[in-house]
Amino acid sequence: MIAARLYGSVYLAVHLRGQAGYPFRPLAAIERDRDRRVRAMVAYAYRLVPYYRETMDRLGLRPADFRTAADLARLPILERDQLQRDPEYFVSTAQPLDRYLRLRSGGSTGAPRTIYHDVRALLQNRAHAERESPIIARFVGRRWGYRMASVGSPLSSGQEIGRFLGARSFTPPSLRIERQALSLFDPPEENVRRINVLRPDILHSYGSYLEVLFGYLHASGESFHRPKLITYTSDGMSDSVRRLIEQEFHIPVLSTYQAIEALRIAFECEQHLGLHLNVDLYPLRIVDENGRDRPLGESGDIVISNLVNRATVLLNYRLGDVATLRADRCPCGRSLPLLSFPEGRSDDLIQLPGGGVMHPQAIRIIFTHEPQVWQYQVMQETATRFRIAIVASPSCDRAQTSVRVREGFIRTFGSEIQVEIEFVDSIPRTRGGKVRPVLSLCQQSALSGQDHG
């Protein structure tokens, strides 16, 4: 076992080289690396993954037909329900299943998925985190040796990955961080007490949990050690709470974009203009509902290819999020392209009374101008009935807020809808600890009916 850990450590050290400066390389060089990985992954998938071998044979395609990332669009778009129904159909036969790390999504979409990751991919993922280290150093003052408090779920994929790699590698001194793992299922006051003891440089959590934590701090006025940086991932943070953290608590905020299917898709830099895409690792398309590419600057579904993981191989996979590829370059000097902050998920489209659908981003816009609303969850029960749970600041005028929110829904979805609003202390989380801001029960019922039809 020691020999395996030594091998893992050497493998990690090799892949760490040059990562901190990689985002500043010329875009043409980054794209060459991307296309080299495309060719290698397609050849590997054809040889060892049943789905790709059968699909490419059926379409008359060969690995030699894939020279660049653009060629990945020749594959059918892979939908999440396909992965859900038969996860092993997409797993490489290079190793037995028990050699891979099996991760399972929290099921917040109503369709939990099983993804296998190989050891080398997970070690590479740890190395790729170094691309963000200059940004962290700018806020924290050093690139390693700092203290971090992470508030998450004991069932999270991050915890499982940490345990898996801990048994297969030694952490290099340059990556050592003094970490404190806290549970988001504990009361905020308990976590505040622990944070005050650790005095972390960085506080990391889900965006939705940070909404709860800083809402509590704002309301209670409790003494709180202020870290030098807040980072979040997994689910979003409301604009109002982000402004609260940055303007009232004077703590900078950064987000990263990742998924169980692709562990390190993009990261936010100090310019806060969007997310820098690791396109050499996860080339990305923005498409409409029919799979046609959207022009730059127009939002659509994210379709991603994972060129790192060689266990569950996902190429041209519809991730379920909606965002926009930006045409402008970031003034930070990084060459990695910019993606907008994800706007929401595409699986909870709002059913309109007339039979059409609307993206849940329409709901986010209603709440954007409600600074006293710290967290919300909208549940569409039928095409004409919405139930809304709101966590608000103590100074919120609940009556007026209810009027404005109700008027916003009527203006957006039509005068025949019914809106029930309840102010709550907290919003239930999924088993994995996340909060979904929009849930469409009628849309999920429709999808369920399609699945069984």
pLDDT of residue 387: 95
Distance of alpha carbon 263 from alpha carbon 234, whole angstroms:
10
pLDDT of residue 22: 98
- In which element (H, E) is residue 116 found? strand 114-117
pLDDT of residue 304: 98
pLDDT of residue 233: 86
Query: What is the b/e burial string over 107-144, where b = at least 16 CB atoms within 10 angstroms of the residue's CB?
Result: ebbbbebbbbbbbbbbbbbbbbbbbbbbbbeebbeebe
Summarize the confidence of residues 398-415 as an average pLDDT. Answer: 92
Top-confidence residue, 416 or 440:
416
Residue boundaries of the structural domains of the chain:
2-343, 350-452
The percent of residues above 70 in pLDDT, for the chain, comes to: 90
Decide if 2-343 and 350-452 have a common fold: no
Q: Report which of 144, 170, 161, 137 is spatially closest to residue 5, judged by C-alpha positions.
A: 170
Query: Is the pTM value of this prediction over 0.85?
Result: no
List the single range of 16-20, 272-276, 307-311, 445-449 with lowest mean pLDDT: 445-449
- In which element (H, E) is residue 206 found? strand 202-206
Confidence band for 451, pLDDT divided at 50, 70 and 90: very low
Summarize the confidence of residues 213-228 as an average pLDDT. Answer: 92
Q: Report which of 302, 1, 276, 258 is spatially closest to residue 126, judged by C-alpha positions.
A: 258
- Write the DSSP string, 49-67: -HHHHHHHHHHT--GGG--
Top-confidence residue, 452 or 210:
210
Distance of alpha carbon 15 from alpha carbon 36, whole angstroms:
16
**pLDDT of residue 440 exceeding 90:** no
Top-confidence residue, 364 or 351:
351
Owner of token pair 């749970």: 389
pLDDT of residue 110: 41
Top-confidence residue, 47 or 377:
47
Question: Other CB atoms closer than 10 Å to residue 81's CB: what's the count?
Answer: 14
Top-confidence residue, 355 or 418:
418
Distance of alpha carbon 27 from alpha carbon 334, whole angstroms:
9
CATH of 2-343, one of 3.40.50.1100, 3.40.50.12780, 1.10.3720.10, 3.40.50.1110: 3.40.50.12780
List the single range of 104-108, 162-166, 370-374, 438-442 with lowest mean pLDDT: 104-108
The structure tokens listed for 421 are 């609003």
Q: Report which of 102, 101, 100, 54 is spatially closest to residue 78, judged by C-alpha positions.
A: 54
* Main-chain dihedrals φ then ψ at residue 259, nearest 5 degrees: -150, 160
Confidence band for 450, pLDDT divided at 50, 70 and 90: very low
Distance of alpha carbon 304 from alpha carbon 346, whole angstroms:
14
Sign, CA torsion 120/123/125/130 = negative
How high does pLDDT run on average in the chain? Answer: 88
pLDDT of residue 172: 67
**pLDDT of residue 414 exceeding 80:** yes
The structure tokens listed for 291 are 């799979």
**pLDDT of residue 154 exceeding 50:** yes
387 beta partners: 379, 420
pLDDT of residue 302: 95
**pLDDT of residue 215 exceeding 50:** yes
pLDDT of residue 453: 32
Top-confidence residue, 426 or 247:
247
pLDDT of residue 159: 79
pLDDT of residue 140: 95
Task: Return the SS3 of 110.
Answer: coil
**pLDDT of residue 375 exceeding 90:** no
pLDDT of residue 184: 78
Summarize the confidence of residues 89-102 as an average pLDDT. Answer: 96
Summarize the confidence of residues 127-143 as an average pLDDT. Answer: 93
pLDDT tens digits, 243-275: 999 999 999 999 999 999 999 999 999 999 999
pLDDT of residue 107: 46
Confidence band for 130, pLDDT divided at 50, 70 and 90: very high
Distance of alpha carbon 164 from alpha carbon 98, whole angstroms:
12
**pLDDT of residue 281 exceeding 50:** yes
**pLDDT of residue 410 exceeding 70:** yes
Summarize the confidence of residues 208-217 as an average pLDDT. Answer: 86
Is residue 286 left, alpha or beta, with left meaning phi > 0 and alpha meaning psi from -120 to 50? beta
Confidence band for 208, pLDDT divided at 50, 70 and 90: confident
pLDDT of residue 449: 44
Q: Give the contacts of 280 (CB within 8 A, at least 6 positions apart).
A: 30, 31, 33, 34, 37, 307
Distance of alpha carbon 133 from alpha carbon 366, whole angstroms:
36
Query: Widest CA span of the chain, in angstroms?
Result: 68
* Main-chain dihedrals φ then ψ at residue 3, nearest 5 degrees: -60, -40
List the single range of 38-47, 237-246, 437-446 with lowest mean pLDDT: 437-446
Confidence band for 214, pLDDT divided at 50, 70 and 90: very high
Is the distance from CB of 176 to CB of 144 less than 8 angstroms?
yes
Give the 3-state secondary structure of 343-391: CEECCCCEECCCCCEECCHHHHHHHHCCCCEEEEEEEEEECCEEEEEEE
- CATH numeric code, 350-452: 3.30.300.30
